[in-house]
């Protein structure tokens, strides 16, 4: 079980909560600042208007008129609602509900605590100087806006709490979902580690990120299972392929040991034993060549190759063998067919195709080799014959290593020829196609020029 402190779901949820809090703060702080500035400026404007009205009263009624007006206003209002104070030039009290001029007050509008009717009150004050040296102080209680500020604060705290609760609930749900998916993956991987390669990661068909990851891993597991199955099949095939020549070799040597024939017969048996050893060596050489091709090591040596010129050289090499068997052997090309590839491997692949045809066709049969550039730019190298061909059931397995169909049982070989051709075609970014020739078989390598050129 994954601990909470190491759970990615919890980490994501905490991250989202912090992100939400940051967004909330980014919204609330400017709003609070705008509110504070607006309210402060509004309060100052109201107090300055009050001070201006009192100044007008002073201009019309003098000190006595203003004193009477202030005392009347103080008697009419709610205690503590408004602060009014009129003093002479020595700051002696003349009228108002404030006993003395506050020492802390400055020329600029500001807030401070004052004592009104025996109650400390948080007040904003604005002062002005009247003609004759008289001083006027006007203020308003700030507590009337406290409920609105409290509501704003409560709303902010509620939003923070809501984000926290949503984050915790989201973390729990996401963690539960992830743990369910991870548990399924762990069970599948555990079964695969126990040797059951048939298991695959569960997919819920939601096409989310985990489904995409599961599909990718399942594709990799399919490939691994195919490779392991191929290794197992190849190992079994190697054992069967080597058993016959090694058994023959042992039988010959044992017979020589027991019978001790004449020198001429002895050397004939030795020659046959050498031929058996050569068969074994050819099998291993073919397997080594396949391994080298499969690793892609030869791709680094790709050069620009004229496939038609390579095919012409291979055809020229096999012409004597075809003539000896009485086979009509023809070659045709449509000019230069340039590809990026390994000329040695291409020659060997074509040699394998021609060699297979020569083994399969009867005397006075026909084999044709054709090289051409297709409309899509790919180069096609085809070998066609009129032999027995390959049955539809055997075609899907014809390129498997050591596979030999019913039609090739009586011909020499171990079943690696087409496997090498297929590997060479894939190395060059192409493919091998086996097509009925009616009668016979048409084996064609298609090499996409662009794909080959982009190979490393």
Domain boundaries, the chain: 4-149, 209-292, 296-453
- Do residues 128 and 160 touch, judged by C-beta distance below 8 A? no
| Mean model confidence pLDDT for the chain | 79
d(CA 84, CA 95): 8
CB atoms within 10 A of CB 324: 9
Residue 455: predicted pLDDT: 38
Note the CATH architecture for domain 4-149: 2-Layer Sandwich (3.30)
The residue ranking higher by pLDDT, 55 or 104, is: 55
53 has pLDDT over 50: yes
Sheet holding 93-96, edge to edge: 93-96, 82-87, 134-141, 119-130, 110-116
Q: pLDDT confidence of 258, banded at 50, 70, 90? A: confident
Note the CATH architecture for domain 209-292: Orthogonal Bundle (1.10)
Tell me how far CA of residue 281 lies from CA of 63, 166, 200, 230, 414, in angstroms.
129, 72, 40, 22, 12
Q: pLDDT tens digit string along 262-288?
A: 888 888 888 888 877 877 776 677 666
Tell me how far CA of residue 272 lies from CA of 238, 247, 374, 383, in angstroms.
21, 13, 47, 33
Residue 286: predicted pLDDT: 67
Note the CATH architecture for domain 296-453: 2-Layer Sandwich (3.30)
Upstream peptide bond of 439 is cis (omega within 30 degrees of 0): yes
The residue ranking higher by pLDDT, 16 or 357, is: 357
Q: What is the mean pLDDT of residues 357-362?
A: 87
The DSSP output letter for 271 is H
The residue ranking higher by pLDDT, 401 or 226, is: 226
409 has pLDDT over 60: no
d(CA 19, CA 25): 10
Q: Which two tokens stand for residue 337?
A: 């067919």
What is the pTM (predicted TM-score) of this model?
0.48
407 has pLDDT over 60: no
């Amino acid at each position: 079980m994954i601990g909470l402190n190491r759970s990615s779901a919890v980490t994501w949820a905490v991250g989202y909560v912090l992100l939400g809090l940051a967004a909330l703060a980014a919204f609330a702080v400017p709003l609070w600042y705008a509110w504070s500035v607006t309210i402060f400026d509004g309060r100052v404007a109201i107090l300055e208007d009050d001070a201006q009205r009192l100044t007008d009263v002073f201009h019309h009624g003098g000190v006595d008129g203003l004193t009477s007006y202030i005392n009347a206003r103080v008697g009419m209002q709610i205690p503590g609602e408004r602060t009014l104070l009129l003093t002479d030039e020595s700051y002696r009290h003349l009228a108002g509900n404030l006993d003395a001029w506050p020492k802390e007050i400055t020329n600029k509008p500001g807030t401070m605590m004052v004592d009104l009717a025996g109650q400390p009150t948080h007040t904003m004050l604005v002062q002005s100087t009247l003609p004759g040296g008289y001083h006027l102080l006007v203020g308003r209680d700030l507590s009337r806006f406290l409920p609105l500020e409290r509501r704003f604060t409560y709303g902010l705290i509620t939003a923070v709490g809501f984000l926290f609760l949503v984050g915790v609930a989201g973390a729990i749900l996401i963690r539960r979902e992830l743990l369910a998916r991870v548990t399924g993956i762990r069970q599948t991987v555990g079964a695969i580690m126990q040797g059951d390669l048939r298991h695959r990661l569960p997919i819920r068909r939601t096409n989310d990120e985990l489904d995409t990851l599961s599909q990718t891993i399942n594709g990799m597991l399919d490939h691994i299972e195919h490779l392991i199955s191929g290794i197992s099949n190849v190992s079994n095939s190697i054992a069967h392929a080597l058993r016959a020549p090694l058994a023959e070799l042992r039988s010959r040597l044992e017979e020589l040991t027991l019978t001790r024939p004449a020198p001429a017969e002895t050397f004939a048996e030795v020659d046959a034993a050498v031929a058996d050893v050569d068969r074994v060596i050819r099998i291993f050489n073919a397997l080594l060549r396949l391994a080298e091709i499969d690793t892609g090591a030869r791709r680094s040596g790709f050069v620009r190759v004229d496939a038609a010129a390579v095919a012409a050289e291979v055809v020229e090499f096999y012409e004597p063998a075809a003539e000896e068997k009485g086979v009509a052997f023809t070659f045709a090309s449509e000019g230069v067919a340039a590809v990026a590839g390994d000329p040695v491997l291409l020659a060997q692949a074509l040699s394998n195709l021609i060699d297979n045809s020569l083994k399969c066709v009867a005397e006075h049969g026909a084999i044709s080799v054709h090289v051409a550039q297709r409309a899509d730019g790919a180069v096609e190298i085809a070998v066609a014959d009129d032999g027995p061909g390959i049955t539809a059931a055997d075609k899907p397995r014809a390129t498997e290593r050591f596979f030999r169909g019913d039609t090739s049982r009586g011909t020499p070989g171990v079943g690696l020829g087409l496997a090498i051709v297929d590997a060479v075609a894939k190395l060059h970014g192409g493919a091998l196609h086996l097509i009925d020739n009616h009668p016979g078989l048409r084996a064609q390598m298609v090499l996409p020029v662009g794909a080959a050129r982009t190979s490393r």
